[in-house]
Amino acid sequence: MGRKSYSIERKQAKWGLIFTIPCLVFFAVFSFYPIINALLTSFTNRRAIARTSEFVGFENYVYIFTKDNGGFPLSNSIRATLIFTIGTFIPMIIASLIIATFLMQLRKDKYRGFFQLMYYTPAVLSSVVAAAIWMIIFDPRGLMNQISNFVMRTSGVDYNWLVDSTMLQISTMMIYFWKYIGYFVILFITGLASIPSTIYEAATVDGSSRWHTFWKITLPLLKPTTAMVSIMAMLQCLKTFSTQYMLYQGGSSRFPIDVITMNIYFTGIRNGRLGRASAMSIVLFLIMLIFTYIQLRLTRSSEDVEY
């Protein structure tokens, strides 16, 4: 009777699989099931309170792409989401990279730790608290109008942070930027810390300036981190909800900031049209999938970096 022999790789793979089982269970319950359920629901006319629903084929998809949806068409939501995503994630990536680079220049760890903590603190605040803080700041009598009047050398001008359509969109971007930049700074710091110091030492010996070192060494070696952070930031921005929702709750108009998730929420939860809301969520899922694929393709070469 021959003994079955396993290679080291196969043994490692077996243990790897065992260790990933809890994660797979988690994803099966909390990700796969909702996605499949949403897909199936999107082909029905299911309402929140009704006990029964009927199969309606692609009716919900046709509706969301051709109808007004009670004054809040999906096309407007796609516009609002894209404007928010572009207006937030690109500045956030650039700013978090710059801040992380500056923080890495600090010689004492305690100073770096202090600033990391300061930048990260908003990320751990609940959205409700964050919104409450910003509602006070954006109140017509609040800090933002006072600062704006000081900077613009005006007096008593209401810059309509929560009223004007453009200002309202800028306000949501500012809140989001403030809340999440610390998180991405930490990720960039982790990436920067993983670049071996010997490379910098060699560059210094060769007479490279700091500016030159940043562009020719830091940035290329940081490409995997940049790719990961940009994908994460973009996906997070595409899924934004609480910032817009809180401003709406505070009395602002919904239309200019009616991002896709907010439209899904109002269609499904407020108006109880679960079939229609599920169709919107599948559209959002596809948008995120396409953007992620494009971004992965654009940054594919980043995986080739070796020290």
Partner 1 sequence: MRKALVLLLSLMMAVSIFAAGAGEGGSNDQIVIEFWTHEDVNRQALEDRYIQEFMESHPNVTVNVTRQASTKLIELVQTAFAAGEGPTMFNLSSRDVDAYSVGGRVAPMDYGAAGYTDAQSVKDAYLDGMIDPVTYDGEVYGLPLELTNWCIFINKKVFRDAGLDPETDYPRTWEDMVELSEKLVIRDGDILVRRGYDFRYPYYLETLVPMVEQLGGQLVSDDGTEAIVGEEAWVKVLQFMQDWGPNGLNLGSPTYTNARSLFNRDNNDIAMATTGLYQEARIKADNPEFYDSGEWMVVPFPVFEDAVNDVAACYYGHYYMVNADADEATQKAAWELIAYMLSHGEEYLTEVQLIQPTKELMESEAYRNMPYSEVFLGDFERGHVVYYGAASAEFQAQLRNAVEAVMLQGVTPQQAYSDLKANCQEILDENS
Stretch that binds partner 1, among 66-74, 76-84, 180-188, 280-288 (CB under 8 A): 66-74
In the complex, least distance from residue 162 CB atom to partner 1, rounded to whole angstroms: 4
In the complex, least distance from residue 171 CB atom to partner 1, rounded to whole angstroms: 11
Neighbours of 199 (CB within 10 A): 14
In the complex, least distance from residue 298 CB atom to partner 1, rounded to whole angstroms: 28
Q: Which residue has the tokens 């613009």?
A: 152
Nearest to 256 by CA among 175, 173, 138: 173
The reply to whether 25 sits near partner 1 by the rule CB under 8 A is yes
Residue of the chain from 7, 126, 155, 198 that contacts partner 1 (CB under 8 A) = 155
Alpha helices in 42-73 (DSSP H): 59-66
**First CA to last CA distance, the chain:** 48
CA distance 122 to 184: 12
Contact between 97 and 181 (Cβ < 8 Å): no
Q: Answer positive or negative: Cα dihedral of 218, 219, 220, 224.
A: positive
For partner 1, give the closer residue by CB, 163 or 232. Answer: 163
In the complex, least distance from residue 144 CB atom to partner 1, rounded to whole angstroms: 12
For partner 1, give the closer residue by CB, 32 or 111. Answer: 32
For partner 1, give the closer residue by CB, 41 or 218. Answer: 41
The reply to whether 224 sits near partner 1 by the rule CB under 8 A is no
How far lies 85's CA from each of 212, 239, 257, 267, 296, in Å?
A: 31, 9, 12, 22, 17
The reply to whether 51 sits near partner 1 by the rule CB under 8 A is yes
The reply to whether 160 sits near partner 1 by the rule CB under 8 A is yes
The reply to whether 274 sits near partner 1 by the rule CB under 8 A is yes
CA distance 89 to 26: 28
CA distance 182 to 212: 26
In the complex, least distance from residue 236 CB atom to partner 1, rounded to whole angstroms: 23
The reply to whether 28 sits near partner 1 by the rule CB under 8 A is yes
For partner 1, give the closer residue by CB, 145 or 218. Answer: 145
The reply to whether 3 sits near partner 1 by the rule CB under 8 A is no
Contact between 261 and 239 (Cβ < 8 Å): yes
The reply to whether 124 sits near partner 1 by the rule CB under 8 A is no
CA distance 16 to 81: 38
Residue of the chain from 66, 165, 194, 204 that contacts partner 1 (CB under 8 A) = 165
- Binders of partner 1 among 187-216, rule CB under 8 A? none
Residue of the chain from 192, 255, 299, 302 that contacts partner 1 (CB under 8 A) = 255
The reply to whether 166 sits near partner 1 by the rule CB under 8 A is no
Contact between 53 and 275 (Cβ < 8 Å): yes
The reply to whether 253 sits near partner 1 by the rule CB under 8 A is yes
CA distance 43 to 36: 11
Size of the site for partner 1 (CB under 8 A): 48
Residue of the chain from 70, 91, 113, 196 that contacts partner 1 (CB under 8 A) = 70
Contact between 100 and 189 (Cβ < 8 Å): yes
CA distance 44 to 20: 35
CA distance 210 to 226: 20
Residues that bind partner 1 (CB under 8 A): 10, 13, 17, 21, 24-25, 27-29, 32-33, 36-37, 48-51, 68, 70-72, 139-141, 145, 154-158, 160, 162-165, 250-256, 266, 269-272, 274
